[in-house]
Amino acid sequence: MAYWLIKSNPNCFSITDLQRLGTEMWDGVRNYRARNFMRDDMKVGDTAFFYHSSAKPSGVAGIVTIATAGYPDPTQFHPEHRHYDPKATEDTPRWYMVDVRFERAFDDILPLSTLKFLPALEDSLLLRKGCEQLTILPLELKHWYAIMDLVALSEQADDDVDN
């Protein structure tokens, strides 16, 4: 199993939207590196953090599971769709997508401003210059556990305040 971080602007699609739907297509990705991750590397059962980008605050909002392996994104073929690509054909698709399934939303967003100071993430693509615009990032197991440890601490602190 591999670990990922997938980004979405919550004004377009949020963890709450996915929670309501259960499973949804992760379509509209128009970056070749992210496309390659979905097409070649993401597998059914992989786990990903759902990250709210361009938000106040931006950060990790929950967890999803990859529900399907990569397949051609149908939006690339429809001229009326905002993700249409005139160079893509059914025989030679350019863009791929996966379906994601909701697993859980965190009580609070784990903000990027906190993640930036986590030593275990200093070598992650999430914090690497030039990778800020990638909507899909692979994570190493140590990155996954470092973020999950912060989530657990945050939720424990919330429980302590409530009691």
The 10s digit of each residue's pLDDT in 11-63 is 999 999 999 999 999 999 999 999 999 999 999 999 999 999 999 999 999 99
Instruction: Determine the structural domain holding residue 18 and report its residue range.
Output: 3-162
Count of domains in the chain? Answer: 1
Predicted confidence (pLDDT) at residue 163 exceeds the cutoff of 90: no
- What SS3 state is found at 71? strand
Query: What is the model's pLDDT at position 153?
Result: 87
DSSP letter string over 7-47? Answer: EE-TTTS-HHHHHHHSEEEE-----HHHHHIIIII--TT-E
* pLDDT at residue 140 is higher than 90: yes
Q: Given this model, what pLDDT does residue 127 score? A: 86
pLDDT confidence band for 155 (50 / 70 / 90): confident
pLDDT at 162 over 70: no
CATH code for position 57: 3.10.590.10
Please give the pLDDT value at position 161. 61
Q: What is the pLDDT of residues 58-108, one digit of tens each?
A: 999 999 999 999 999 999 999 999 999 999 999 999 999 999 999 999 999
